Amino acid sequence: MSGNEGDDSSTAAPSYTHGTSTTPLLGDTVGANLDRAVAAYPDRDALVDVPSGRRWTYAEFGAAVDEVARGLLAKGVRKGDRVGIWAVNCPEWVLVQYATARIGAIMVNINPAYRAHELEYVLGQAGISLLVASLAHKGSDYRSLVGQVAGKCPRLRETVYIGDPSWDELTAGATAVPRKQLAAAAAELSCDDPINIQYTSGTTGFPKGATLSHHNILNNGYWVGRTIGYTEHDRVCLPVPFYHCFGMVMGNLGATSHGACIVIPAPSFDPAATLRAVQRERCTSLYGVPTMFIAELNHPDFATYDLSSLRTGIMAGSPCPVEVMKRVVTEMHMGQVSICYGMTETSPVSLQTRMDDDLEHRTGTVGRVLPHIEVKVVDPVSGLTRPRGTAGELCTRGYSVMLGYWNEPEKTAEAVDPGRWMHTGDLAMMRQDGYVEIVGRIKDMIIRGGENIYPREIEEFLHAHPKIADVQVVGVPHERNGEEVLACVIPRDPADPLTLEELQAYCDGRLAHFKIPSRLRILDTFPMTVSGKVRKVELRERYADPAG
């Protein structure tokens, strides 16, 4: 819909809601919260690494975290120092996460897919003094890549490699640090201290380092887990990457804040390894983006795995097709599966579906606001709150909003307004019941002759066309109207592609005239980011010239 369709602001409720709860926020640091879990559940499983067969009870996990924390102290790491983690999913990643939090060091997540120039940027921008890295993964020799950039990063004192004698040296160093020194370091920490920097991937320019506190991520992990009913009896299978909030906050902290068990199925996503881990460890919860669940469901041996232990899980990252959700609920036994919406800058989750929500709410919305968080939908130009049922920019406020972008106050001020509202850049519509639909990105919005056009609405309409396998709609320059609507289509049958006349005839009388595409491109594939999202900016640039 356009910005003004269906708008009767005199009667419609405003697109604002906040999550209430009689349960207070946690005031702990991550380390103190882990201590509570260790005391309450010492003999229950805390961490299982299926590939190596290693496992830790909570008592053992707490001791292993303290050993790494004391090892870091022995290497001179102190509160506020930045420790990089550049590794695939493995137990050591989790130990470093909790050990750095234990002493107040700021852990900097580095994407394992980064190449030398990206690594150099993050090492320099965050001022990392100690780096913990994998040795190799998928053809990347991490030691060689570090060697290429170390000389350009003067603050980097040392690199510790997982699975290498340097890791053993780190843990052995714990013997030189008395336990009372670790306790003294922990006593100096506030829950509002920064402990994590996560670099957000941008389509242009270098990524920005979202800086998060104990309070941000511990509470978000706790509330995401609480919303799907986690207890000490849950076992959470995590094929999603730890370097992202999905793995380390919703996964790791979501589990340990409830005494549940973290299960690592593989270093990176592998559908067979994931299914095997669920069966072997009797997991009750499974995480993933929709494409992961599709890969698992379509695995040739899917029917041979016993997934009856599952009851819940989290799907996030992009909308879930209805048919996929039906299969996840029935064939994977995940009747209480939850959809989450968020962004790194908000720790990450703001909206989540509930365990008893129906299929339509789980596939048509991204849920409703979590406790202790506010959300609103505003006019992107005026900033005024929109009436429910009309589109605008989604904003969120509360404990989850980041401290800021590391050493980038100007960029922080662009994202977080003086009222502490985080502007997500997402276009959303709040329903009358408070559930929220994401309808696109502000940067994707097309303004044609003064009319706001949301590409996702047109894309969803065109998906029903029998000749269209997939479609992306973008705005391209137009001399008179400012922008015009371009549909980029992957045909079901390349031998019988859609024509512009057929497309326009299909839309005529069913879409407002200004939303009907005036241009069409037939493509084999769409340009994608490394995380699997379509690069609309590239489509816009590529086809800006009608003759191009």
Q: What DSSP string describes 455-477?
A: HHHHHHHHTTSTTEEEEEEEEEE
Per-residue pLDDT of the chain (548 residues; tens, 9 = 90+): 334 444 445 578 999 999 999 999 999 999 999 999 999 999 999 999 999 999 999 999 999 999 999 999 999 999 999 999 999 999 999 999 999 999 999 999 999 988 898 999 999 999 999 999 999 988 889 999 999 999 999 999 999 999 999 999 999 999 999 999 999 999 999 999 999 999 986 544 688 999 999 999 999 999 999 999 999 999 999 999 999 999 999 999 999 999 999 999 999 999 999 999 999 999 999 999 888 998 899 999 999 999 999 999 999 987 787 888 999 999 999 999 999 999 999 999 999 999 999 999 999 999 999 999 999 999 998 999 999 999 999 999 999 999 999 999 999 999 999 999 999 999 999 999 999 999 888 888 898 888 888 888 898 899 899 999 889 999 999 988 899 999 999 999 999 999 999 999 999 999 989 999 999 999 999 998 755 678 898 999 999 988 76
Query: The domain at 449-542 falls in which architecture?
Result: 2-Layer Sandwich (3.30)
What are the C-alpha distances in Å from 427 to residues 2, 301, 419, 443? Answer: 12, 40, 20, 9
Phi, psi for 344 (deg, rounded to 5): -50, -40
CB 488 within 8 A of CB 539: yes
pLDDT tens string 7-28: 445 578 999 999 999 999 999 9
Query: Domain locations in the chain?
Result: 30-426, 449-542
Q: How far is the C-alpha of 368 from the C-alpha of 366, rounded, in Å?
A: 7
Select from 3.50.50.60, 1.10.10.10, 3.40.50.12780, 3.30.70.260 the CATH code of 30-426: 3.40.50.12780
Q: Is the peptide bond before 24 cis (omega within 30 degrees of 0)?
A: no
Give me the pLDDT at residue 196, please. 98
CB-CB contact of 430 with 439 (8 Å): no
Q: Residue 486 in 3-state DSSP? A: strand
Report residue 396 CA to chain centroid gap. 16
> Which whole-number Å values give the CA distances from 518 to 447, 488, 515, 543, 546, in the listed order?
14, 11, 9, 13, 11
pLDDT tens-place string over residues 223-259? 999 999 999 999 999 999 999 999 999 999 999 999 9
What are the backbone dihedrals phi and psi of residue 47, each rounded to the nearest 5 degrees, phi first?
-150, 130
